[in-house]
Amino acid sequence: MNLVLTGFMGSGKSTVGKIIAEKLGREYCDTDELIEKTAGMQINDIFKERGEAAFRLLESEIVKSVCEKSSAVISCGGGVVLNSQNIENLSKNGVIVYLYASPEQIYERIKNEGHRPLLKCADPLNEIKRLLEQRREAYSNCDFSFDTGGLSAGEAAEKILENNEIMKLIGKTKNN
Ligand code: S3P
């Protein structure tokens, strides 16, 4: 089974995912990176030149392709939950873990970064709150959730690795 990480922008998916993959000796992949590679463009430019709908279509195609994997750690963009087909595909051979942080903590993490088109607005904190509320139900359907708010990426990774239920589901026991 794959270990799939999702959560709002700035929740630490990519950093946490890389640490977990390394500790488990598993392949790591990141849907945002694959989208940029496939499109030959940065996410900001995809949104600007082709629009969000085109980005979401590409994201769903990439999700379909990463679902072909069977024992990878997959970090998915925060909007992947918006399409229930993505979740259905990822669930077929993956455990979906939601990383949560409060709007204020997310804002602190992302405020100096410029690569997130959805948060390039006059009041990013308010937009974070709005989007989190809009996605609340979709995120709540994930198999597991972890509050990463006060944690470093290493601590968040440790918490996930210490969860025996998740480790068992992805076929990782203390001896393998
Ligand atoms: C998005 C999250 C981003 C990226 C795109 C849209 C979203 O990924 O896929 O900017 O809708 O939440 P990260 O969550 O990795 O920043």
Tens of pLDDT, residue by residue, the chain (176 residues): 999 999 999 999 999 999 999 999 999 999 999 999 999 999 999 999 999 999 999 999 999 999 999 999 999 999 999 999 999 999 999 999 999 999 999 999 998 888 888 988 999 999 999 999 999 999 999 999 999 988 999 999 999 999 999 999 999 865 56
pTM of the model: 0.95
Query: What's the CA-to-centroid distance between 69 and ligand 1, angstroms?
Result: 22
Distance CA 174, CA 148 (A): 24
CA angle (125 as vertex; 20, 121 as ends), nearest 5: 105
Ligand 1 in contact with 7 (CB < 6 A)? no
CA of 11 to the centre of ligand 1 (A): 10
Three-state DSSP class for residue 113: coil
Q: Could you give the CA distance from residue 6 to residue 151 in angstroms, rounded to a whole number? A: 16
Ligand 1 in reach of 103 Cβ (< 6 A): no
By most ligand atoms within 8 Å of CB, the mutation choice from 118, 136, 139 for ligand 1 is: 118
Supply the residue whose CA is at minimum distance from atom 15 of ligand 1. 77
| Nearest CA residue ID for atom 7, ligand 1 | 79
What DSSP designation does 71 have?
A: S
| Cα 29–chain centre separation | 11
**Quick check: 59 and 80 in contact, CB under 8 A?**
yes
Joined tokens for residue 173: 């026991």
User: What is residue 114's predicted lDDT score, i.e. its pLDDT?
Assistant: 82
DSSP string covering 134-158, please?
HHHHHHHTSSEEEE-TT--HHHHHH
